[in-house]
Chains A and B, each alone.
Chain A
Amino acid sequence: MTAPVRRMPGMLDGLLAVARRDLLLAWKRPGDVLNPLFFFAMVCTLFPLAVGPSAEQLTFSGPGVLWVAALLAMLISLNSLFISDFDDGSLEQLLVSPQPLPLVGLGKTISHWLTSGLPLVLVSPIVAITYRMQGDVVLVLMLTLTLGTISLSLLGSIGAALTVGLHRGTALLSLLILPLSMPVLIIGANTVSLAAGNETYSAGIWALSAYAVGTLSLAPYATAAALRISNE
Chain B
Amino acid sequence: MWKWFHQLASPPHFYRIVPIFSTLLLLPGLALIAYGVYAGLFLAPMDYQQGDAFRIIYIHVPSAYLSMMAYMIMAVAGGIGLIWRMKLAHAVAASAAPLGAWFTFLALATGSIWGRPMWGTWWEWADPRMMSELILLFFYFGYMALRAAIDDTAKADKAAAVLSLVGVVNVIIVHYSVEWWSSLHQGQTIMAKDGPAMDPAMLYPLLANIFGFTLLFGSLLLRRTRTEVLFRERRTRWVKEMILAPEGQR
Is B146's beta carbon under 8 Å from chain A? Answer: yes
In the complex, how many angstroms separate the beta carbon of B93 from the nearest chain A beta carbon? 14
With an 8 Å Cβ cutoff, the count of chain B residues facing the other chain is: 28
- A175 pairs with B142, CB closer than 8 A: yes
B169 within 8 A of A: yes
Q: Is A218 an interface residue (CB 8 A)?
A: yes
Interface of A is mostly: helix
Which listed residue (B139, B152, B181) contacts A186, Cβ 8 A? B181
Q: How far is the CA of A222 from the CA of B170 in the complex (A)?
A: 13
- Residues of chain B having any CB pair with chain A under 8 Å: 135, 138-139, 141-142, 145-146, 149-150, 152, 154-155, 158-159, 162-163, 165-167, 169-170, 173-174, 177-178, 180-181, 184
* Bound: A117/B71 CA distance, A: 32
Q: Size band of the A side of the interface? A: 20 to 34
In angstroms, Cα B161 to Cα A226, docked, is 10
Chain A 128-156, CB-CB to B under 8 Å as 1, else 0, gives 00000000000000000000000000000
Task: Judge whether B178 and A186 touch: CB under 8 Å.
Answer: yes
Quick check: which of A14-22, A68-76, A87-95, A161-169 contacts chain B, the rest being far away?
A: A161-169
The answer to whether A182 and B141 touch (CB under 8 A), given A190-B184, A229-B158, is: no
A-B residue pairs in contact (CB < 8 Å), sample of 16:
A158-B162, A158-B163, A163-B146, A172-B146, A176-B163, A179-B138, A179-B142, A180-B167, A183-B174, A183-B177, A186-B178, A190-B184, A194-B184, A211-B173, A226-B162, A229-B162
Known contacts A166-B150, A180-B167, A190-B181; A229 and B142 CB within 8 A of each other: no
Of all chain A residues, which has the CB nearest B138? A179
Given contacts A183-B177, A186-B181, A229-B159, contact A175 B141 (CB under 8 A): yes
